Structure 1
């Protein structure tokens, strides 16, 4: 909680020299004979802080404005100025001791307002960290916002309050005693009364009791009017027996339907598991089919290249006897492949061998692709079938749920045979 320090009190007028009282940072003692204006200093401070009017004394003649210098808890000096005739309070953010010649930095209302912060009470409370604090005002725990006027009464003690028999901090007014004690508690502990819950007054409690009684009487009247058409106890007992038997029959039917529903759910779960496995296998098979297609294209491309090599070699004479097309050796110096019947070279043998091997791989691949395509078709048909089966089961489960769901009016016409 911050502290406000008074620095001076100054009265200014158009045709009068400023009259000022400086306050020490520690203790200031003002003394003098009676009726010389000592109490007027306290009244003037109270007036600048929001009191309704300033006491009229002969010494006040010629003065039109009261200036109160204050040092805020932050150390910033300010001056509050107010006309001796009342009205708003001008705020200057400087230490001013003569008639101000410049416009005020802000204008504050003299009266406290909980809905508006532009008043001297909310401004000063905010400086000391007590703005928006709540204090209890009566025994019913009703609260209102703390006003700086509640604190001014504790800070500005006049001669009358000094001589009063009441304890310090209390005004002696029984109506204000609860609030005054709450203000003292707030200053001592730093905790306000915002957590209190208001208790209804005796008059409000009486109204509530009357309202409750009226509601109960109205409900009783409605119940009595509804009970006028109710049958005799014997008839009601007979109806209750029939209802109990009917409920037992329906309970048996509902139990059977519940068992059927559980079986359908198990079948549906198995179909879903099978569908998931089929979809996974189908995905793997289609991916493998795509890779086989690429491999088939590669084999076909290899066979085309080998055929082109065979044809080019025949046209260029790579595979005939004579001068070697690679090294230029004469036939007598060449090493022939004796297994070729003297009509091919070893290069031609390699081409033919690679062609036979690649053609064999391609034939095997085509058989595998044919088998894989057949499996893919089987998987597609199986997935379609599981979808149809799952749809049929879902429809059956929905029909059972609709049968077991109670609807208005169906209890009377529902029969166990229809349910079965």
Structure 2
């Protein structure tokens, strides 16, 4: 068992609701003291802590909580660190927020946890906390015959959270007072004292129950065997020959399966052939379209080249003609060449004519290159048309082959289906025979089982040695508190309670019972700590110092003689000093008495005054005048 060295720490409890002021109380590691008058919310806070640790009991409908709909419990866990639990005050599941989130803000990393214990997964609060403490998936006995169930965190809570009713009860601090739960509660106590659960215990059944259960099981087996015989008679007249028939069918089925697979492979090959041809056809058609478009564009370009050549040839011819008559008399006016006047000189005309000739030569070269490209595209087009015909033929051949192969493939598949049906029918018959044989063997085995004797009954509960050691730890605690008397403590294995100086703990007044109950739970925490055993690491005690009550104002009435004797001692002071010295644990003490002077030096102290004009009113803010 892996035990956490840093148990669970309660860090704060808060309440929120629409249009309601935030109500919160915080806790520290070590000693936490919460004093106050009656009806200020102290005991309600204890009930909410129990509620936030998985209790399914509805919370009291006190008027102070009106308008509040959520409770938030900040925790520090051994492995997950700081987390916050949120739960509706109406009950139901929890939200687990990463970190100590503000009660008015939702955390980003939120996980839903069921309030119902289930050790098969971690999506519930109980198993999550058990895993954090190192309890894992433990089992506890729930009756004297060793019947078991899984450990729940709710089994542990009673040892770390004690309300004002339980703390003064005459019942053992181990038990809740219900006869049906005694064995389970004692098993949990043993687990906490030893770290050993009851998973190794083999449950036994008494003779009467055993015979009843066995006869009922035999009747069920007989009925099941009769049903199988009825099915075999109706559907398998030759049941003895089913094994040989199945062996022959297996060989035939394997051959038919191979032939069907071969036919499917042939069709698949033709489908691949068809797919390949179709893909190539699409590519050829696309390329033919591109070639056709290019030939049209190139024809248009050739026309442009032809037009340009004609224009340039005209310019060149005109220039040539002009140059031929440039040194003769004007045919119109008879003027001599040197008497004629022109806007452009002969040199310019010659340059234009020469440039036109050069441009014509360039266009001719481009045109020749264009013709080569056109010829190449024309040749490619013919090749593509040929390939198109080839692939179309390939596609048609693939289609034809698929049409030819399909009927044969269907026939083989149909034969395979028929063989499968027959084979499954025969196999079902063999399964029925196998089931029948198993049931017959099981019946024979069950008929020979004998009930366990009383000597086989498991010995449950805490051993005398461990109980003695625990009692000495309680004695040490009482000594630290200066409890009156010799403080000789023994553990009564019948009542699972303490005898103090020879007197049963339950035979004392309620104030003394409260103190000794508190000593029991404090001693358990110390006992587990000293031995490295799992314990939540915190203890909530509601009104452990009941004996220091005001006998006139208190609802608990006048003090008994033993209570008065205890009240006359300084136990209260030693009680607080001792708890403050146990720095490895967290104690939350709720009391109605006035806080002792200087108590703030020992621990985190909070006082509920019930006076809206003085200090903190109570757990919830005062709504006086609201």
TM-score (norm 2): 0.36
Larger radius of gyration: 1
Structure with bigger RCO (C-alpha 8 Å, 6+ apart) = 2
The TM-score, its normalising length taken from structure 1, stands at 0.49
